[in-house]
Structure 1
Amino acid sequence: MATLAQQFTGLRCPPISHTRLSRRKSITQIQQKLLNSRKNKTIVSAVAISNAETREREELNQLFEEAYERCRTAPMEGVSFTLEEFHSALEKYDFNSELGTKVKGTVFCTDNRGALVDITAKSSAYLPTQEACIHKIKHVEEAGIVPGLKEEFVIIGENEADDSLVLSLRMIQYELAWERCRQLQSEDVVVKGKVVGANKGGVVAEVEGLRGFVPFSQISSKSTAEELLGKDLPLKFVEVDEEQSRLVLSNRKAMADSQAQLGIGSVVIGTVQSLKPYGAFIDIGGINGLLHVSQISHDRVADIATVLQPGDTLKVMILSHDRERGRVSLSTKKLEPTPGDMIRNPKLVFEKAEEMAQTFRQRIAQAEAMARADMLRFQPESGLTLNSDGILGPLSPDLPADGLDLTDISPADD
């Protein structure tokens, strides 16, 4: 058998083509050139950017150096104001943020929780709703706090969250209210106070936005605390102490002052408040008076309820009043045209009330004149004498011959 080498002796392989190798080499060279070209361009671009940044930095550095030199050698060059003007402006807008400091501000925004106020500080200040008014309100606008309002506030705190200041109007109003109460006390003025609360010792009344205490011993009426709640009472100041936050009021003193305006014999309209076995309590315009059972009629009244009922309106006459205790004594008996009319015909008593009261006052005036005349009898130098008709006659030619008629003298005060 022929060997394998001998069998393939006649076979020939074609030689490798030099053309194909050259082509591949050319492609590789082109790719390498492209890569080198891109690489060179990237390097050139990086160098260009680096040079631009360097130039920009150099220019900025030059500007800074020039600015520094100007600040060092001529700091006020090109400035439109002087150094003195600058310091003056700083003093003008210098802000004191200590607690208790009063500042002026302008409201520029409100919401459900309060109002933002511009007080020319580094940040806005806030006015909470509860600090907007001495009275209880739900929204600041109820107290007239609206955008654009210019007002004086007091600093009461600082909000740590944003370093804003907390303002109050209520504290300023409290100061004014105490000052007003001191003034009213010095003038001994009667004021109106609304009863807003009560305790075992008395009632709490609101006056000038402040809450004061009215002891039961200083209330003229016999009403309970529940009956007085929500009502307005005439009051006078007994004690005004702002440092102790102590405000004490009296209804009795106010009533005594009002009663001083009622002369003996005055006719007033009253309302029956309650009935007692010994008489009826009559409300005469906020003053509680007693119509004793013996002063209802000339005839005996066995049962007051047969003549009067709570809620009845009637005319009564002032007999007397105790200013210290705040008690007033009343009468319908003196207004009866004939004894017993208050029981049989009360309408006639009311119709003739002013006429009967005038007669009563004349009798009082005449009695007073006679009392004065008795005193003059012991003083002959006065030159007057009293005739049988109760008229003071002259003992000198300077007085009228028919004497002085005292029956028209107005009734004297208590």
Structure 2
Amino acid sequence: MHLVVASTAGFCFGVNNAVKIVFDLAERTEDKIYTLGPIIHNDQVVNKLEEHGITAIDNPEDAEVPAKVVIRAHGVGPGVISEFENKGIQVINATCPYVEKIQRLVYGKHKEGYQIIIIGDKQHPEIIGINGWCGNSALIIDSSEQVGSLPEIKKSICVVAQTTFIREKWEKIIQSLNKRFENVLKFDTICNATDKRQTEAEKISREVDMVLVIGGKNSSNTNKLYEICKDNCPRTFKIQTASDIPPVDIKKIKKIGITAGASTPDWVIKEVIHNMSELDKQDLEMSFADAFESSLVTLTTGQITKGRIIGYNLNEVYVDLGFKSDGIIPMQEFSDDTDFDPEKSLKVGDEVDVFVVRVNDGEGNVMLSKKKVDAVKGWDVLEEAFEAKRPISVKINEQVNGGVIGYSHGVKIFIPASQISDRFIKDLSSYVKQVLQIEIIEMNKQKRKVVGSSRVLIEKNKEFASSEIWDKIEIGKVYKGQVKSLMDFGAFVDIGGVDGLVHLSELSWNKIKHPSEVVKVGDDITVSVLDFDKEKKRISLGYKKQEDNPWVSAIKKYEVGNVIKGKVVRLVPFGAFVEIEQGLDGLVHISQISSVRIGKPGDVLKIGQEIEAKITELDMEAKKISLSIKEVNPIDPVGSKKEEPAAAADEELLTEHKEDMTNTIAENLTSLNDD
């Protein structure tokens, strides 16, 4: 007959700590000592404590003063502690650190306005205690079927679990909660020791002919172990001591598995192992503690080893190392990626390489770092890339004085401001959280220094692309480009390794004062080549489209004799320019403003004035529209007498301004095109 003893059987850290506190207290004080409820769910331990004069009570009213009371590993709500203190009884809190963490979490999230949901047995002391930290307002469920009976919850939800809850059931409940409610914040608070214990029990129960689960009849985690093993092995028995071992036919049962709850002392487990071994006439001189220790791996600070993820929450990742305690990776030691999402990236059962930071963090846990392992491996990758001048990807994490810092393969890389682009970049904050392609230009492993450059790659790519552009460029060719910078006189556009200039006059048919009125840096636009000079490496580009030319649409919309409404936009000695629509102006000669002769247009008109006028001439080829206000509604000076000026006088006036008018019209058209 072969015995398979679970390495996780027996006291967990929290229970062991609570029992030790009580026994130590009994040796140090003569005061009456109470425990609030049995210190653990094990009659043998409770009986030993009673022999030392330690009494278990159910509530503060049962205690007599003076005395001390020990709060068991399950913990209690703050109200219970206050009751003892108000009565003058000293409280020694032996609550399991994992349970305390849940209490703090629930207290904080309740204050933030979350509705707390606890997954577990609502009659269990641990759950009752946790509920006390949110004013007993938590909703408590222990199955996915109960999710449907929960009331409507409008505020955000925070979900925690009893430390001994079965993980498979937890995951099903979480899925049901996510389907029914929108804002569910879950914290996987199942104790990693419990998780490991249950996982090992499931594995053993699948491989043996019979299972003995040792623990108190009221122990929650013992009952869950029994439930798990029973599903896989019908011959599963729950026992409290060796005297409860059922009859065993060693001819039929060749392999027996033994596990125990977190409240089971090692001497009870040792007795069961010894009795089972005696059945097969085997000598089991090795103590349970020795057997337990012999099954464990050895860990040292600074060691790199492999582990398996057994659970995680927003703050920590729990790893099974095959050691007597599980490892904990703080989330900030798992990845340098600021966008790292545990829900999307982590999977229970995945194997990870870890660096042992401390074998014991003071609470019995092994502190680990995945980032340190990544960095060790990463140096080899980066050294190879440095030697081969091979580009690598870098995720930028932060802006610092003089540049930015990013990470690649777990190694920190500095990119100076002068090396982040081939152009001067004033504000580097836009690069944070971006992934850049860089080439390593400096590396010193001893000083842990790596310097990268995007500029080197940009210039290499541009040099290659530039030769392609200049070999095939021609006037009229259309390119897709990106706006790189804006100047007062136009916009520079990268058309694939070469920058060309779109002059202000080529950005829009309308008069604009700055390129930002039409485009912005980073815009993807389509441009055409207007002119180029290969020797001087200059390219002139056009952006405005012919179909947007207001003069083209004017052919379809206007004809001689139409009366239009417009706005005076410019006054000159021989007349006034009137905006018919954006980008389309007409000229009202001074003789066509008033029914009487006026000295200058400003006598009756002002900039911005709305007027009505008739189109008297429409020359699309010359881009010229002549207008007459006089033929629609003449505007006369105040107090003037209407008179018909002689034809000769009009002719004289026209002749007088003919040269000035021609020059000004030409200047105005040039201004419209070049401004």
Bigger CA radius of gyration: 1
Q: Which has the higher helix share?
A: 1
With normalisation by structure 1, the TM-score equals 0.46
TM-score by length of 2: 0.30
